[in-house]
Amino acid sequence: MDTVFSTRLDERLISELERAAQRLGITRKALLVTALREHLRALDASVDVVERSFGVWAESNLDAEQTRARMDADLEQRFRRSSTLRAPAPKRKK
C-alpha cells in the first residue's frame, strides 16, 4: 500500500524531475523511488567500519582474550544463521 509523502522542492528541481522521467519513459514516482532506493543501497554499503567489525573496537575496556572470545562467538552465531551449507543426510540401507 502506498502512502502519500509530501515535501517542498525547488521548482527547477521539479522541472528537471519531469524532464528526466519523460526522457526515461517512466513516471515521476518511479524515478523518485528508484533514485531513493539506489541512494539507500549505497548508504547501506558504506556502513561504519566499527559496525562491520561487530563493534569490537567500541569496547576498549575488554582485554584481548575477552575480545577474541566475543568475536569468535559472534562470528559462529552469524555463520549458523546464514549458513546454507548442510551436512548431507546419511544414506539409508535397503
- Predicted confidence at residue 68, as pLDDT, reads 78
pLDDT reading at 92 higher than 90: no
Which grid coordinates belong to 1?
500500500
Of the candidates 62, 81, 82, the residue with the CA atom closest to the CA atom of residue 70: 62
Q: What pLDDT is stored for residue 64 in this prediction?
A: 72
pLDDT of 27 higher than 90: yes
Q: Which residues contact 57 (CB under 8 A, 6 or more apart)?
A: 50
pTM passes above 0.75: no
Question: What does the mean pLDDT of the chain come to?
Answer: 77
The answer to whether residue 25 scores a pLDDT higher than 80 is yes
